[in-house]
Structure 1
Amino acid sequence: MHKLIARLWRIIRGPMQWRVLWLAHAKFMVGVTGIVRDDQGRVLLLRHRMWPEGRQWGLPTGYAVKGEEFGATVVREVKEETGLDVKTGRLVNLNSGYKLRVEVAYEASFVGGEITTDSFEILEARWFSPDELPNGMQESHRDLILGTAA
């Protein structure tokens, strides 16, 4: 039986193999977070409208679109949510094990621009010193900023 399956697999090659793999495997959304710092070491935090009351402060975060490199997701999300330009750095965290989501976090550096928030998603955007982070912040984001994420 195994030989037959292997033979069929070699016969269908290319796009058909990808279609079979797509149908047979789990699908995930990829949430991408940016730890954006300016030249003073402050971190960019956003107060998100859609997040739970009392826990609305967090890092710029969004979902990757199909075919997008995750570093590019950080650049796009920060631009959409704040109007700021950033450059991504190293990957600092990758979490899986969630039912439908994988989480990725990158360091990012502020390049330029002025804060202009997207009022649909973002209530407020501000720079904070890592030792003066606001109350009502996502604990996982606090851990990312302080370098203590698991």
Structure 2
Amino acid sequence: MKKVVAGLWRIIRGPMQWRVLWLWHSKFMVGVTGIVRDQDGRVLLLKHRLWPEGRQWGLPTGYANAGESFEDTIVREVREESGLKVRVNELAHLKSGYKLRVEVAYEVEFIGGEFRTDSFEILEATWFSPDQLPEGVQESHRALILRER
């Protein structure tokens, strides 16, 4: 049986192999977060309208689109949610193990722009010193902000 399967695998080749693999394996959403810091070391926090009451402050975050690099995802999300322009630096966090989600976070550098928030998703965008974060910051985001750099 193994020889038959191996023979069929070699016959279908290329795009058909990728389609079979795609159908066979689990599908995941990839959540990408940016730890956006300005030249003074302050961090960008957004008050998210759709997050649970009392835990609405957090970093810019969103899901990667098909075919989009994770770096491009966070650049897009920051622009959509805050209007700011950023440059992605090093990978800060990678975690799997959820049923359908993988989490990725990057250190991100503010390079320009003025606040222009998406009023549907974002109630407020503000710079905070890491040692003076507001009440209601997501604990996982607080940990990302305060991690050893």
Normalising by the smaller structure, the TM-score range is over 0.9
Letter of the 1:23 partner, please give it: L
Give distance in 1, aligned partners of 2:53 and 2:100. Answer: 23
SS of alignment partner, residue 36 of structure 2? strand
| 1:114-133 pair list within 5 angstroms | 114-133=114-133
Give distance in 2, aligned partners of 1:143 and 1:82. Answer: 22
- Indicate the percent of aligned positions where both proteins have the same amino acid: 74
Q: Residue 145 of structure 1 aligns with which residue?
A: 145
Give distance in 2, aligned partners of 1:35 and 1:51. Answer: 18
Q: Residue 85 of structure 2 aligns with which residue?
A: 85
Give distance in 2, aligned partners of 1:58 and 1:82. Answer: 12
Structure 2: unaligned runs, 5 residues or longer: none
Q: Residue 70 of structure 1 aligns with which residue?
A: 70
User: Residue 14 of structure 1: CA displacement?
Assistant: 0.5
Q: Residue 95 of structure 2 aligns with which residue?
A: 95
Q: Deviation digits for residues 85-130 of structure 1, max 9, x if unmatched?
A: 0000011101111111110000000000001110000000000000
Structure 1: unaligned runs, 5 residues or longer: none
Give distance in 2, aligned partners of 1:23 and 1:64. Answer: 20
Q: Deviation digits for residues 37-95 of structure 1, max 9, x if unmatched?
A: 00000000000000000000000000000000001111000000110000000111011
Q: TM-score, structure 1 length as denominator?
A: 0.97
State the 4+ residue runs in structure 1 displaced beyond 6 angstroms: none
Q: Does 1:14 align with 2:18?
A: no
Q: Deviation digits for residues 6-44 of structure 1, max 9, x if unmatched?
A: 111010001110110011000000000000000000000
Give distance in 1, aligned partners of 2:147 and 2:11. Answer: 49
Q: Residue 40 of structure 1 aligns with which residue?
A: 40
